[in-house]
Amino acid sequence: MIFGPFKLVLRVISLVLSVIVLYFAVTFVQIWLTGHEHSNAKAQAILVFGTTEDNGVASPELTARLNHALLLYREGRAPWVVVTGGNRPGDDYTESGVSATYLENRGVPKSDILQGYGSDTWQNVSTVMPLLKTHDILTVITVTDPFHEYRAMAIASSQGLKPVPSPVPNSPTIKHSLWKYYLKETFDVGVGRIIGYGRLSSWTTGPAKVYHKL
């Protein structure tokens, strides 16, 4: 009888741990499947999520995202291209500014490009939402790396957009410890769905900032 309550506690702990493991396992599968889904639907805009730039030059990862967005734009999949991403203290360029210049140099009219900023995925979307609302843009094709596609779409949806997936098929990121990215995404999505992506952003990143707008 002495060990009865102890065994009950162990069973409860075991059940809770099993539920947590199952929850994150299902989350991982959802992320994996979405990263391999490519919609052929048209939309009002192509939403490109920012990533690193190097002193005004797009990184290989950002270049891959922009080239994919260019392909979609030239195919007539959407009339607008939305670029996002800010910068760090001391940087002279924003990810969105570098992205806009890259697209303009390859034939996309400046009038067809909208710019946001932000230091994470939530901020990428939230900083550009006022512009999207001004142009009555609701449907977007989300362009990012495959492991990031699920969270990008989830955050876009949570802010009122209707996203369809178009992950980058040839991102250089796949060559560098890809499992780490999937583990991070599984954690971020798993936690974000429980506490809210906006709250998670405020806890981990803080308010959106931009130090320069080049």
The full set of domains in the chain, from first to last, is 33-204 (3.40.50.620)
Comparing 2-6, 39-43, 65-69, 155-159, which segment has the lowest mean pLDDT? 2-6
Q: What is the pLDDT of residue 3?
A: 57
Q: Which residue has the higher pLDDT, 1 or 190?
A: 190
pTM (2 d.p.)? 0.90
pLDDT band per the 50, 70, 90 thresholds, residue 65 = very high
- pLDDT (tens digit per residue) in 75-117: 999 999 999 999 877 778 999 999 999 999 999 999 999 999 9
Q: How far apart are CA 11 and CA 26, in angstroms?
A: 22
User: Three-class SS of residue 80?
Assistant: strand
Which pLDDT score is estimated for 128? 96
User: Is 214 a residue whose pLDDT tops 80?
Assistant: no
Alpha helices in 1-120 (DSSP H): 4-34, 60-74, 95-104
